[in-house]
Amino acid sequence: MTTTVVIGGNFAGMTAALEIKRKGKKDHKVIVIDKSPLFLFIPSLIWVPFGRRQMKDISFRKDEIFRKKGVEFVQTEALSVDPAHNIVKTKNGDFAYDHLVIATGPKVDYEVAPGVREHAYYIGTPKGAMKTKKALEEFKKNPGPVVIGATQSAGCMGAAYEFLFNIEKWLREEKIRKKVDLYWITPETYLGHFGIDGMPGGETMLKSFMKMFNIHYRTEVGVSEVYKDGIKLTSGEVLPSSFTMLMPPFVGVDFVTNSPALNPTSNGYLPVGEDYRHQDWPNVWAAGIAVQVDLPFKPGKVPFSGPKTGYPSDETGKIVAENIIRVTKGKTKLRKKAWGKIPGICVMDAGKKEVIILSDHLFKPRKFAIMIPNIFYDFSKVLFEKYFMWKTRNGYSQLP
């Protein structure tokens, strides 16, 4: 029997584990190691601060699903790996493997600039989203300027854009919009770059949104320092702020950086080929955010990164699973699909409005790319959330 250990159990990890077991059946033992027994639909965290979603609405027990599907779940923290001896070290002891899948997700670099950790809010974790919700309740009692955006080296600009438009809507609903100067700051070279070199009509569309919602914006700026009552940009400008929400950069998790034999990149990601197989260790694979992605464009005078969202994470999880099954059957031809050639499928929420983003490739060159605004309701965003939660809750990893 072949044993695969999967580190991480959210988008990429859960998909990879369930697909390996589904395809490998009794010939394959799968062990998932994760600190949390809960699956979290991360894209909906943007709604938690505004009360549109509760944490219970976007999470469920994944350990029960794994057990139903014949996957062993171990709730513990993975500390490091010794790939020369095929051993994963955890707080609960060592685990031997034939294949290892690293799908750990990100670590957030709050130290990207002074004051980010202390004075800026972040909505990318359950704790951060709940902390933001509490802060907004206090903010509305004494409203003032608001700064929303992304720091230098960030890659998750889409979620920050979504939060921007949602807070603008919330300010209107609370009847305090006229008391608030709302600012958007981004390292992008232009609005709507998204770390994918933009989409046709994207910059024009977002400029019109900024004008329509009376949002001031600054492009090609980073963060020099965040204060309790303001933020200094790399341009030297200081913006007053009574509430600041920033998306810092992602870096590789401690499990990877504590495993020097994996030869991680300077930012803690894993060097893999288009088959997501480690370049030095043929029985080690990476999926999702753990993958090192080289950008096909120059960011500009302020560095920023590309997005690592749920859809590419899910896709790379499937590719890894298929390739592990092929290897165990003695096949040499593996499935390959570079990160940038994965289709771009995203719905950007804009405060009960939405923009549907579709392309044949995430990065250029593309044969097809379109942005479709829906100014009436974010129906597609809600539908995707319900669909993905349904398919994951039922362990239907094979579905798109």
Same domain, 239 and 322: no
Are residues 183 and 147 in contact, defined by beta-carbon separation less than 8 angstroms? yes
Q: Which residue has the tokens 């940038």?
A: 340
Q: What is the dihedral of CA 116, 119, 120, 126, to 10 degrees?
A: 100
Give CA–CA dist 241/28, Å, rounded: 54
Does residue 238 lie in a domain region? yes
Give residue 56's pLDDT. Answer: 96
Same domain, 233 and 209: yes
Does residue 380 lie in a domain region? no
Same domain, 319 and 304: yes
Does residue 95 lie in a domain region? yes
Compute the chain's Rg from CA coordinates. Answer: 21
Same domain, 92 and 116: no
Q: Give whole-number Cα distances, 55 to 58, 161, 239, 353, in Å.
A: 6, 21, 32, 22
Same domain, 101 and 181: no
Give residue 377's pLDDT. Answer: 87
DSSP state of 301: S
Same domain, 179 and 308: no
CATH of the domain at 14: 3.50.50.60
Count helices and strands in the chain by DSSP H and E runs = 9, 22
Q: What is the pLDDT of residues 315-325, one digit of tens each?
A: 999 999 999 99
Among 218, 233, 249, which residue terminates a domain? 249
Give residue 195's pLDDT. Answer: 94
Does residue 27 lie in a domain region? yes
Cα angle 183, 184, 185; round to 5: 120
Same domain, 279 and 190: no
Same domain, 198 and 169: yes
- State how beta strands 99-102 and 284-286 pair: parallel
Tens place of pLDDT for every residue, the chain, 400 residues? 999 999 999 999 999 999 999 999 999 999 999 999 999 999 999 999 999 999 999 999 999 999 999 999 999 999 999 999 999 999 999 999 999 999 998 899 999 999 999 999 999 999 999 999 999 999 999 999 999 999 999 998 999 999 999 999 999 999 999 999 999 999 999 999 999 999 999 999 999 999 999 999 999 999 999 999 999 999 999 999 999 999 999 999 999 999 999 999 999 999 999 999 999 999 999 999 999 999 888 878 999 999 988 899 999 999 999 999 999 999 999 999 999 999 999 999 999 899 999 999 999 999 999 999 998 888 999 999 999 999 999 999 999 8
Give residue 156's pLDDT. Answer: 87
Where helices occur in the chain by DSSP H, the ranges are 11-24, 62-68, 116-119, 126-139, 157-173, 202-212, 254-257, 310-328, 379-393
Bond before 145 cis per omega within 30 degrees: no
Same domain, 161 and 124: yes
Among 249, 267, 295, which residue terminates a domain? 249
- The separation between CA 192 and the C-alpha centre of its own chain, rounded to angstroms, equals 17
Give residue 309's pLDDT. Answer: 87
Q: Determine the angle formed by the axes of helices 11-24 and 310-328, rounding to 10 degrees.
A: 30
Same domain, 92 and 224: no
Give residue 61's pLDDT. Answer: 95
Does residue 22 lie in a domain region? yes
Q: What is the residue range of 212's domain?
A: 109-249
Does residue 237 lie in a domain region? yes
Give CA–CA dist 178/340, Å, rounded: 42
Q: What is the pLDDT of residues 346-390, one digit of tens each?
A: 999 999 899 999 999 999 999 999 999 998 888 999 999 999 999
Domain count, the chain: 2
Among 287, 311, 338, which residue terminates a domain? 338
Same domain, 241 and 300: no
Burial of 312 (C-beta count, 10 Å sphere; 0-12/13-18/19+): buried
Give residue 299's pLDDT. Answer: 78
Tally of residues, the chain: 400
Does residue 391 lie in a domain region? no
pTM of the predicted protein model: 0.95
Give residue 254's pLDDT. Answer: 97
Residues 6+ apart with CB under 8 A from 206: 161, 191, 192
Same domain, 164 and 273: no
DSSP state of 272: B
Does residue 369 lie in a domain region? no
Are residues 72 and 32 in contact, defined by beta-carbon separation less than 8 angstroms? yes
